[in-house]
Structure 1
Amino acid sequence: MITVEHLTKRYGSHRAVDDVSFRCEPGTVTGFLGPNGAGKSTTMRMVCGLTPPTSGGATVAGLPYRQLANPGREVGVLLDASAQHAGRTGREVLTVAARTMGVDRREVAAKLDLVGLGTAAAKRRVRAYSLGMRQRLGLALALLGDPRVLILDEPANGLDPEGIVWMRGLLRDFADRGGTVLLSSHLLREVEAVADRLVVIGNGRVVAQGGKDELLADAGTLVRARDRGALRVALDRAGLDAAKVTDGLLVPAAAEAVGQAAADAGVALTELRPAGSAGLEQLFLTLTSDASTGKDLR
């Protein structure tokens, strides 16, 4: 379990993180969302003992990170895929870590295989790795000690679509076996595909948190028509607000009401469904555009 209680970090008069609290339970993936500069990375660094908080605290498996006897056996961390010794091979990076943690060296080959870095890749020096390969190596390092907790900051950066799907499955399997995952990412649809809970942060403060389904339950209906202008007029006549999103119009109303408004106006629809990913996109944009209003669905 990860417990974050009233974490605050000030740099002079600037509050990078302001009274942040949340919990990540075993068996779940928690998506940690927010725009650039919102305080996600600073929060994760404080959880991992890399940045001292101004006030508040965080524990992993019941203890502050720095008090864990062998942290790598309790929590796997990937905060910066580039923070690896560029002159070592991938195998050497894991071998040194295995010795440090007291892990059987046979786990090195097993974890390299798990993340898709074969014999040839394992023998290459890290400086020759692509960003995607470094992400895979970082995941292998995080998993090396068979931890119960994973803390990952933007782990999908540099991965191709196949790699992103692979990572989604890996994290889902880890959680389904009782592990705890805290995942920061700007890829909203990928977070939605794997996360059980969401924590949204803006301007250093938590602006929403709760179960994914809870947060998206009121997101509304996604609707599309060949004639978007006619659809918008029909919705206006019915007193239904609509926001333009990537996939069409997002209406904060039940699908039945939206469909009836279109039918009454004779507008043929090409799509009518619960908002889903578009709902998360709009929820994210709405919440993080003004962090002064919080929403807590714990």
Structure 2
Amino acid sequence: MITVENLTKRYGAFTAVDDISFEVRPGSVVGFLGPNGAGKSTAMRMMTGLNPPTSGRALVLGRPYRDLPMPGRHVGVMLDASAQHPGRSGREVLTLAAMHLGLGADDVAHALNRVGLTDKEAGRRVGGYSLGMRQRLGLAVALIGQPQVLVLDEPANGLDPQGIHWMRTLLRGFASAGGTVLLSSHLLHEVQAVADEVVMIGRGRIVAQGRVDELIQAGGVTVRSMDDGALARGLQAKGVDVTPAAGGLTVSASAEDVGRAALEQGVVLLELRTGAEGGLEELFLQLTAADARDAA
């Protein structure tokens, strides 16, 4: 369980994180999304005790991260997979993490196997690892203590399609076993595939949060017909908001209501779809357009 309450971080006159509140419940995966510079990493650093908040608080398993006894046994954290000593082997990095947590060689072997790093790969120096291998090693460090909570920043960065599928299966399995997962990622199609809920922030503030399917469905219904004008008049007569769109109409009503209105008007429907056509990616772009680096 992660609880974020009115979390705020200011650096002088600049507010990096501005009064955000949300929960990540056991058994769920929550995507933490936002453009570069939106405050995601700062918020995750506050959740994991690396940065003190200006105000508000973040609790993990009911306590501030720093108050957890042996935090690595409760919370697996990966905020920067490249932050590993390049001169050490993967096994040495993981062995040091195990020693810190009071774990042994069997735990190291289990963690390596869990993330798909072979004995040969584990014996290589981290400086020679690909980005994807570094991600797997970072995950092994996060998982070695058998935590109840995972806090991951861009865990799929550098993974190939097979690796991304493996990551999705691992995180869903972790949540299905009662674990709690908060992940930040720019791979929005993958977030849509793996996450139960999302929290989107822009300029440090939450711009949307909720279940992925509900947020996408909130995009309304897009319809194209043989006579869009007649259909629009029929829907507006029922008090439905209708907006012309490229090649059709965007309607703030259910697909069933649109179908009934078309039947009453004697209009043949050519296309009817619910939600944002591009799914979570389109919703993200709409909601964070003003905060993106390339907004202009």
TM-score after normalising by structure 1? 0.84
Amino acid at match of 2:116: G
1:116-155 equivalence runs, <5 A: 116-155=116-155
* Alignment correspondent of 1:185: 185
* Alignment correspondent of 1:82: 82
Structure 1: gaps of 5 or more residues: 224-230, 292-298
Contact 2:225/2:270 (CA < 8 Å) preserved in 1?
A: no
Flag the 1:242–1:176 CA change in 2: closer, same or farther, 3 A: farther
How far apart are residue 253 of structure 1 and its match? 4.6
* Alignment correspondent of 2:4: 4
Contact 1:17/1:42 (CA < 8 Å) preserved in 2?
A: yes
Instruction: Map Cα deviations across residues 91-144 of structure 1 (whole Å, 9 max, x no partner).
Output: 110001000101132011111111111111111100000111100110111000
* Alignment correspondent of 2:175: 175
- Mapped to 2, the partners of 1:69 and 1:171 lie a distance apart of 24
How far apart are residue 281 of structure 1 and its match? 2.4
Flag the 1:107–1:279 CA change in 2: closer, same or farther, 3 A: same
Amino acid at match of 2:243: D
1:29-178 equivalence runs, <5 A: 29-178=29-178
How far apart are residue 213 of structure 1 and its match? 2.9
How far apart are residue 243 of structure 1 and its match? 5.5
How far apart are residue 207 of structure 1 and its match? 1.5
3-state DSSP of counterpart to 1:241: strand
Instruction: Map Cα deviations across residues 160-185 of structure 1 (whole Å, 9 max, x no partner).
Output: 11111110010000000000000111
Instruction: Map Cα deviations across residues 253-296 of structure 1 (whole Å, 9 max, x no partner).
Output: 544566787x9777855xx44336723223222222358xxxxx
Contact 1:196/1:212 (CA < 8 Å) preserved in 2?
A: yes
Flag the 1:253–1:193 CA change in 2: closer, same or farther, 3 A: same
Amino acid at match of 1:129: Y
* Alignment correspondent of 1:217: 217
Tell me how large the CA RMSD over aligned residues is: 2.6
Instruction: Map Cα deviations across residues 45-79 of structure 1 (whole Å, 9 max, x no partner).
Output: 01011111111111111111111110100100010
* Alignment correspondent of 1:199: 199
- Mapped to 2, the partners of 1:264 and 1:90 lie a distance apart of 68
The yes-or-no answer on 1:241 pairing with 2:243 is yes
* Alignment correspondent of 2:237: none
Flag the 1:243–1:151 CA change in 2: closer, same or farther, 3 A: farther
- Mapped to 1, the partners of 2:249 and 2:101 lie a distance apart of 52
Instruction: Map Cα deviations across residues 139-158 of structure 1 (whole Å, 9 max, x no partner).
Output: 11100000000000111110
- Mapped to 2, the partners of 1:21 and 1:114 lie a distance apart of 33
Amino acid at match of 1:134: R
How far apart are residue 217 of structure 1 and its match? 2.9
- Mapped to 2, the partners of 1:146 and 1:243 lie a distance apart of 50
- % of aligned pairs identical? 62
